Amino acid sequence: MKRVAVVGATGYAGAELVRILAGHPEAELSLITSRQYAGAPIAKVYPAFAGAVELVCEAFDADAAAERADIVFTALPHQLPMEIVPDMVRRGLRVVDLSADFRFRNVDAYAAAYQPHSAPELSAAAAYGLSEIYGEEVRTAKVVGNPGCYPTSILLPLVPLLRAGRISPDGLIADAKSGVSGAGRSPGLGTHFPEVHESFKAYKVGAHRHTPEMNEVLTRESGSRVGLTFVPHLVPMSRGMLSTVYAAPSDGLTAAEAREILTDAYAGRPFVRVLPEGEFPATRSVRGTNRCDIGVAMDPAGDRLILISAIDNLVKGAAGQAVQNMNLMLGLDEAVGLNAVPYPL
């Protein structure tokens, strides 16, 4: 049993980590921290956990982490992890960070989107934890930068087709829709119930910080500079993310071929499911799971490939993929602990 710590356990991604790790057969959740709720049982913060998770939140302490854990998940707002991760790595801990701090190989791109990076070498050496794509790097990484939820949902359908050279790297568009939990647990007018309910809107049009994160990967995989057009939207629901991606097919690509390329690319991988012709995912279908469901169509009129992917933003888009990365780092089957049967409804 590996001992694992969750630093920042009371945000939504942190709580989802607690859910998954508390049921993980090869990991022992040995330490959870929360600045705001230090001293409180996690089941006070998330009463659903009552009787199921007995842990008490502690204030973060690097010594305690080093002593009581083998691997650490940091689920904190960006800028905090880069302050504490280097020290933990020095103490021999391996880290899966769920913020943006270790997602960029190009630290300048990080600096342009966020702020100057205080641990640039560590960032450049980290693995990008898109498990199905960069699993090999993840296995041996000291630090894994767990991808953003939008990038996960958008890169999984795109990367195999780009690698195969069967879609153009130019003119890619991702129209993405997220539930409100993606905004985190801190209240604000933009997530105040009466402002969100019965409304739908786009936000950060052309300005979301997941764009440079995706462009770095898309550029690497396609071999040419990619400038993705990305428009995120807010859906009046708590969890779930659906991305509708538009791409220009190359070399007469058909929908069937695209489906085959994706199916082959993810053969043997338990969490990506390419749907048969005429089927498209709904967020309900992946709720509570670590799956990414992908539907494929070719628009006849426009000769445009349409890729629709659905994930649970808190699972495959955050905590679930983080645990999948931990499994890879520990040499376990990547699906261990991620097979709880989801609620049907």
Site string for its own copies, 232-261 (x = CB under 8 A): -x-xxxxxx-x-x-x---------------
CA gap 162, 222 in Å, rounded:
5
Selected binder of its own copies within 90, 187, 260, 264 (CB under 8 A):
187
Per CB under 8 A, which of residues 262..281 are in contact with its own copies?
270, 273, 280-281
* Shortest spacing between CB 178 and its own copies, in angstroms: 9
**Positions 160 through 179 that interact with its own copies (CB under 8 A):** 171-173, 175, 177, 179
Q: Which of 80, 105, 139, 191 forms a contact with its own copies (CB under 8 A)?
A: 191
* Span 103-122, contacts to its own copies by CB under 8 A: none
Compute the distance between CA of residue 12 and CA of residue 75 in angstroms, rounded to an integer. 9
CA angle (122 as vertex; 119, 126 as ends), nearest 5: 135
| Residue 305 token pair | 């490939």
With CB under 8 A, what is the number of residues at the site for its own copies?
A: 94
Could you tell me which residues come within 8 angstroms of residue 302 by beta carbon, excluding any fewer than 6 positions away? Answer: none
Is residue 149 annotated as a catalytic residue, yes or no? yes
DSSP-based three-state secondary structure for 321: helix
Q: E strands, 35-132, where? A: 71-74, 94-97, 127-128
Which is the catalytic residue, given 9, 45, 95, 149?
149
HSE (side-chain half, CA atoms, 13 Å) at 85: 34
Closest distance to its own copies from the beta carbon of 266 (Å): 12
* 340 binding its own copies? (CB under 8 A): yes
Cα–Cα distance between 242 and 293 in angstroms, integer? 10
Contacting its own copies within 195-224 (CB under 8 A):
195-203, 205-206, 211, 215
**Does the CA dihedral 329-335-339-345 come out positive or negative?**
positive
Q: Tokens 């641990």 sit at which residue?
A: 119
Is residue 98 part of the contact set for its own copies (CB under 8 A)?
no
DSSP state of 146: P
Of 76-84, 95-103, 139-147, 225-233: span binding its own copies (CB under 8 A): 225-233
Interface with its own copies (CB under 8 A), residue from 52, 59, 112, 256: 52
Residue 297 in the binding site for its own copies (CB under 8 A): yes
Q: In a 3-state reduction of DSSP, which class is residue 267?
A: coil
Q: Which residue, 140 or 200, has its beta carbon nearer to its own copies?
A: 200
* Tally of CB atoms within 10 A around 33: 24
Please, what is the minimum distance in Å from the beta carbon of residue 160 to its own copies? Answer: 19
Find the shortest distance in angstroms from Cβ 113 to its own copies: 13
Give all strands of the β-sheet with 27-33 in edge-to-edge order: 27-33, 2-7, 71-74, 94-97, 143-145, 127-128
> Which one of the spans 114-122, 130-138, 256-264, 288-296 is the region binding its own copies (CB under 8 A)?
288-296
Minimum distance between the CB of residue 218 and its own copies, rounded to whole angstroms?
A: 11
Identify residues 17-46 at the interface with its own copies (CB under 8 A): 18-20, 22-23, 46
Just list the catalytic residues: 149
